[in-house]
Structure 1
């Protein structure tokens, strides 16, 4: 049983990590869609509507890069 675990663990990682990244991309798209709907009225009065969403997503993906790779994605540090 231990041998099977040793054999299938790399296969699970190879398929689960890309799946996780795709799920995170879809969650980012969902976040942007909800953000757009929530701030639809502000769009008529503000030119920088997407700055908050852009900075929030950049921070989330920077944290993701720091967790998976151990270094910040933004180049700082």
Structure 2
């Protein structure tokens, strides 16, 4: 896996993508793994949980980023 500071598709487990983030060498955080459902729509509670697991500090900005990057 490339250590680029972005989430990479690690594997698929049922109907979920398992994404993994490897922090850059100069980062003081541990690696993170986030399951994301492979559905056309995700309810707001699930989306909030994904944001928290991914380390998002601002949920509204997280949602705005998703809209910009669809």
- TM-score scaled by structure 2? 0.31
- TM-score scaled by structure 1? 0.29
Which has the higher Rg, Structure 1 or Structure 2?
1
Larger strand percent: 2
